[in-house]
Structure formats: structure tokens, C-alpha cells
Amino acid sequence: MSAAPVQSAGVVVGRAEEAARMVASRKRWDRFFMIGGAVLSFLCIAVLAVLVADLVRDAWPRLEWGFLTRDQSNDAEQAGIKTAILGTGLVMLVTAVTAIPLGIAAGIYLEEYAKKNWFTTIIEINIANLAGVPSIIWGLMALGLLVYGLKTGQSILTAGLTLGLLVLPIVIVATRESIRSIPQGIREASFACGASRLQTVRYHILPYSMSGVLTGCIIAMSRAIGETAPLVTIGALAYITSVPAVPFSEKAWPLEAVATRAVQVDAPIETGASGGVMQFRIELPDETPGAKKHAVVKATRDVTIPAGASAAQVGEAIEATPDLTARLDSTGLLRVENEQFGGIVLGKDTSGVAAALAMKQEGGRHGPLDWLSSSFTVLPIQVFDWVSRPQQNFQINAAAAGVVLVMVTLVMNGVAIFLRVRLRKRLQW
């Protein structure tokens, strides 16, 4: 500065210049940061767009309704993702039903109820650690604890619980963060009105933190929906065409289960004593071209059981009927078979005994929650399986299933954003 410091006017001018320079410099940084941020944001979106576009381009030949509704197949063009979509949907349902209420409850407990002591500190540290545990470890845990320990089997329930535990920390952490952002004044105001802790949580903490909690839940579900490793470990299938048990639908009993149940019936039914006629139906595959998956009834056989017949006599009577064989298997169950290929024999009892027995059994319909124990596959497993197939055609399927997965995730996110906006509208600070 050339002006002598004693000249007050000069000092002022000097200061003003310096200030102007500083402001200009700050503004420069401001602009730099703004432009940099804009470029980076654009890059992120561009990368995502390119990825999705590429995926859609690869998947294009398969992107039609039938792909969603067809069974799995080894013919890539005939293959669909019906069971995978059902599996993913139901597993996610179980995951949501376990992780969300549990996670929110735990978050609320830790934020609003728990006293700060070494025990809660340990819990907090562990939750943070759990969030970082590789998913395959959860799979191993679930195999030991759920599949073998609690005997939940390789089922939708197991898968849902596993993923639920996997994402639980995410929900907990999101809930806590969201709760922490509520000003303490709100809590004090509620308590000052005479509310109990539960009432404060119910009427204030929970509603006000909902939008953050919701975001956490969606992040959690988005993570869960893409998981493969733990599900492979607990036994998700690569090939399955049967759909999970539809509530209240007629039960399709495995033959063995039928036998086991039947033998366990304790009230004596006087089949042998009263005698009767049993009708067996022999079904054979329909070999007509194009008649896939349909069998035709080739013949019916009536077996007359004399009154007071013994087990052996019942067996003999069946054996004496053409095309039917009866044998006791190693578990002591009588099996009625037909020697020709595909001849799985269905019996029909015309004596009314079956009806009586049916009353005693569970009605022959699925319970509302039977689907929980169904076997399953999920979209990522399907993608994984197809990606590793040598046939190039399956790469298209993999991309198409990928597109579906992305769409599902986007829809989930969309719902979350919609709910959040609605919540925000009602709730403003």
C-alpha cells in the first residue's frame, strides 16, 4: 500500500480495496464450487442414465409382459421371472415386516428410553458394527441359527428374516438420526402438557421423524432387494416353477405328507369294517404336441374293499386290480402305483369315508401364512444364474431381469418420495 498509514483517508481506501479483493476472491471460490458441484451432479446423473440405457438396450428383446408372467425355462426366449418376482415380493414383505417395526422400535428405545450407560454404549457400537458385516456372514448365521437351529427351513420366512436382520442396523441408524433432528423443545413441550413418554413418542417423535425413518427404510429395502449371497447360502433355488402357497387355496399335498397325516389319524374309521368302493384314477402324460403340462386320465379303476378287510387284504385287493400295484415302503406306508411311466395314481373313495376323514383334517386348504414356508427364488439369483450361463441369449434375460429389479427399486423410491412429500406438507418446521 503506497498511502502512508498516518493519512486516515488513505487507510480507509486501502481497507476498502483489501475488502473488495477479499470479497472477489471469496466470490471466485463460490462460483468455482458451484460450477464444480453442478458438473459432478450432472456426471452422477449421466453415469446412471448411461448404465440404465445400456441395460435397457441389452434387455430390449425380452421387455414384454410375458417375461414377467412366464415360468423359468432353459429356453432363454421362453424363460420368464414369475417365480422370481413372487419370491422377491414375498421375501421383501417379510423383510419389511420384521426390519421396519423392529428397527424403528430399537431406534426409539435407544434415543428416547435407554439410559446412557456402558450397556447401551455396547449396543450402539455393535449396531454400527453390524451395519458393516458382509452379507455372506449373515447368510451363514441364518443357516445355522434359522434353518438348522429354529428349523425354519429354506423358506421365504428364513430369507425374509435374514435380510431383515441384515438391514436392521440401517433402519435403526436412520431412525435415530431422524429422531435426533427433532428439537428438544418439542419433547419438553409434550412432556409439559402432561404426556407420558409413550404418548410423546406416539404423537410427536414418531410422526415428526417419519420422513427420515421412511428414507432409511427405503435404503434398507433397496439394499435387501439386491442381495444374493446370503440367500444362496440359506438355499434360494435356481430353478422352481411352483408358486408360494396362496392363502386359502386348495392344498397340494405331497404324497408323503398325505400318507403321514393319514396314518396319524387317531379316531378309528371303520373302513375295513364297513367296506366300500375306492376309485383310482390313472393319469398319463398327454403326448400330443403342444399339450405341454397336461395329463390325461387314461383309466379309472374301482377297488372293492370287503367288509372287515385286513391291511393285507386291502393291499391284495389293490394288487388284484389291473395296472395297480401296492407295496409297503420302508417307512411302513402303503403306496399305490401304476407301473407305466407318469402313472402317479390318484385315488377316489366313493364310500364316503374320505369325506368323513376330510372333515377331521384341516380342511385341505392353505392357511393364511403357509406361503412363509414355501421354497423360493429371487430376482438377483435369477440374474446371477443367467449371467453365468454360456448361452449368449441368457445375457438378454439377465439384463431384462436387471431392468425389472431397477424398476422395482425405482418404484419403491418413488413411493417413499411421495410419502415424504406428503408428510412434509403436513409437517413443517
Distance CA 347, CA 323 (A): 13
Among 239, 320, 414, 421, binds other proteins (CB under 8 A): 239
Pick out residues in 141-180 that bind other proteins (CB under 8 A). 154
* Amino acid making up residue 151: K
Distance CA 142, CA 138 (A): 6
Could you tell me if 392 and 377 are in contact, meaning their C-beta atoms sit under 8 angstroms apart?
no
311 binds other proteins (CB under 8 A): yes
Binding-site string for other proteins from residue 91 to residue 120, where x marks contact by CB under 8 A and - marks none: ------------------------xx----
- Output the 3-class SS for 125-146: HHHHHHHCCCHHHHHHHHHHHH
Q: How far is the CB of 410 from other proteins (least distance, A)?
A: 26
Q: 408360494: which residue's cell?
A: 244
89 binds other proteins (CB under 8 A): no
Q: Is 328 helix (H, G, I), strand (E, B) or coil?
A: strand
Q: How far is the CB of 80 from other proteins (least distance, A)?
A: 12
Among 7, 25, 41, 73, binds other proteins (CB under 8 A): 73
Task: Name which of 217 and 240 has its Cβ closer to other proteins.
Answer: 240
Q: How far is the CB of 311 from other proteins (least distance, A)?
A: 4
Distance CA 419, CA 425 (A): 10
Q: What is the DSSP letter of 149?
A: I
| C-alpha cell recorded at residue 223 | 439394499
| C-alpha cell recorded at residue 50 | 448411461
Task: Name which of 36 and 363 has its Cβ closer to other proteins.
Answer: 363
CB-based burial label for 243 (10 Å; 0-12, 13-18, 19+): middle
57 binds other proteins (CB under 8 A): no
Task: Name which of 243 and 412 has its Cβ closer to other proteins.
Answer: 243
Pick out residues in 13-52 that bind other proteins (CB under 8 A). none
Binding-site string for other proteins from residue 359 to residue 388, where x marks contact by CB under 8 A and - marks none: --x--x----------x-----x---x-xx
Distance CA 93, CA 40 (A): 36
Task: Name which of 3 and 246 has its Cβ closer to other proteins.
Answer: 246
